[in-house]
Amino acid sequence: MSSLEGKVVLITGGTSGIGEACTEYFARAGAKVVTVSIQTDEGTALAKRLSSEGHACVFRYCDVSKEADVKAAVDLAVATFGRLDVVHSNAGVLRNQKITELTLEDFHLVINVNLLGPVLVAKHAIPVMERQGKGVVCFTTSVAADIGFPEHAVYGASKAALVALMRSLTTDHSPRGVRFVAVSPGTIDTPMLAASCAGWDKPKEELYADVARKIPIQRMGQPIDVARAVAFLVSDEAGFINGSVVHLEGGTLALPPW
């Protein structure tokens, strides 16, 4: 039996890239998944496909920067499946720009989705888990929290803030049975990464090949790599992993600065 069998899982940003891979992986592992995002057509199709295969998956529209949407998503999971065992707070956005080119509109978008969203998810999921006496919250941060990627200043700051958030939540709420973990992906082949290639003087395929050659493992990550790591971290087998960040970057952080 899968360690995820029967667990109720809420995934934000669950219909594209890493989130989509997690939705599929968790549902096929026997979890009961509520996947949410702002991509209504994609989410509806994903849930329909997984349900037609005999898996438990429900989609709901959710803008994680809106508290009412987040509360409704948590309430839906509990109302539909009776409890909430795992939350993967994964929704995120990227705006590439130097700080001197920053608009307040872009700043608020990145912070509202990447930081306020996880705060709201935690605010509404933790009380459910504390009542149960058990639960796990996993955040998707980024190696941009550790490395000075060009034109990623606000994005990197938002992801670094997630690590601080996770560790504070650990001290506040783990004594009542809730664990907190984070995954920190490096270069993962997702639609968000593809969109960031716009405007370069090379086609995406050449850019990807250049990046892969620089990663010690000699390839870019795939969303399934992250899904498998998240699945382990939120499982009972990882019960003593708490307040920790797992980096999934193929050795990028080990590279020397020359």
Q: Is the pLDDT of residue 154 over 60?
A: yes
Mean pLDDT calculated for residue range 81-95: 97
For 68, which DSSP code? H
User: Quick one: average pLDDT of 161-170?
Assistant: 98
Check if the beta carbon of residue 156 is closer than 8 Å to that of residue 198.
no
Is the pLDDT confidence value at 238 over 90?
yes
- Write out the CATH class of domain 8-186+223-246: alpha beta
pLDDT at 209 over 90: no
State how beta strands 244-248 and 135-140 pair: unpaired
- pTM for the complete prediction? 0.94
Strand order in the sheet with 32-37: 56-61, 32-37, 8-12, 86-89, 135-140, 178-185, 244-248
**Active site amino acids:** 155
Sign of the alpha-carbon torsion through 213, 214, 220, 221: positive
Q: Quick one: pLDDT band at residue 257, thresholds 50, 70, 90?
A: confident
Q: What is the DSSP string of 42-53?
A: HHHHHHHHHHHT
pLDDT bucket at 114, cuts 50 / 70 / 90 = very high
Ranges for all domains in the chain classified under CATH 3.40.50.720: 8-186+223-246
